Structure formats: C-alpha cells, structure tokens
Amino acid sequence: MPSVRTPDPNPGWLSDIALDETRSRVPILYVEAVPVRLDSLGQVEHVGVLLRGSAMTGELTRTLVSGRVMHGESVREALLRNLEKDLGPTAFPQLPASTVPFSVAEYFPLPGVAPLYDPRQHAVALAYVVPVTGDCAPRQDALELTWLTPEEASSDHLFDEMEGGRGSLLREALASVGALTR
C-alpha cells in the first residue's frame, strides 16, 4: 500500500528533487516526538503511536511524530509544526521548557549499521517526549493515532511493528520518563 500523502502547504526549503539530492550527500536534521497523556501526578498513562502506510514496503507500520527542521526554523518551532502536522491543531502539545532532547537518534541508509534505519538518507533526529492535552486527529500521511499504555508501548509485538527501528527509540523515551515496564 503506498503512503497516503497530503501535499505540504508550506514545503519550506527544497523541491522533492533537490531534497533527494541533498539527502544523498549530507545528514538531514529532524525532530521526533512521542506524544503522551499524563495523570494528575505527571506520570505517563498513555503513549501515542501513529499508523502509516509505508511507501518503501507497501505495508502499514507504526511510527512516531517526525519531521524535518526547516531552514531558519528553531527546533521548538519545528517540534510544534510537526506535532500539529501529525496530530492536528487541537492536540495542544505542552512543549518542554528546555530543547534538550531525551535522545539524539541517528538513522543510516544501510540496515544493520545502527538500530535506526531510513533507506532514503542519513538523518539525525532530536527526540522528545511531549505531553498533549487536547483532541488528536491524525493528518498528513498518518492514518490513525493509537493510545497505548506504557506496558503495551514497550511490548515486543509493538517493537516489531515500528518503522525503521523506532521501537528502540520508543523504549528509550519510556525509560527517560520512568515509564518503561520491561
């Protein structure tokens, strides 16, 4: 199944052809977010995972909120833009006070080099856990958002469904907020 894509109304900086050429030569900076719902004590109750159709394999895969940092855009602006792009304008994310990520994730175009894999490019992603308080309605190429308990989110079954090795990043996110149950 090909990926369902809505054209980005503000593509930012490069045409698709120029982006492909750049991806083949230099690492691209991304932000990734693990949306969470918190209880009244600030503990993670649920973790949001997106379902997408993969253009690479034609399969449905689970993934995280993710997107490029555009030229001239701050990391905070990129994080907010990509959360809105994937979760909708009424998700009401609570961006962290500090832009220090829980992880700096590195994706390589060759499988087996590192746990994270993206056949299109060498990419570096700043990864954040972001509480959301509003209604989430997936947009762009996300088909649905599934809310899971931390136990479900750390399961081997979900780990295997995650695109590009992102199961390891999800477990790292859970560990960073004390919610890893395995």
The 10s digit of each residue's pLDDT in 72-85 is: 999 999 999 999 99
**Which CATH number is 16-176 given?**
3.90.79.10
Strand ranges in the chain using DSSP code E only, listed in sequence order:
28-38, 44-53, 60-63, 65-68, 103-107, 123-131, 142-148
Enumerate the domain spans of the chain. 16-176
Q: What is the pLDDT of residues 1-35, one digit of tens each?
A: 444 455 555 555 678 888 778 777 888 899 999 99
Q: Could you write out the DSSP letters of every residue in 47-68?
A: EEEEEEE-TTTSSEEEE-EEEE
- The C-alpha atoms of residue 150 and residue 124 are separated, in whole angstroms, by 25
Q: Is 157 helix (H, G, I), strand (E, B) or coil?
A: helix
Does residue 1 sit in helix, strand or coil? coil
> Please, are residues 52 and 141 in contact by the beta-carbon 8 Å criterion?
yes
Confidence (pTM): 0.86
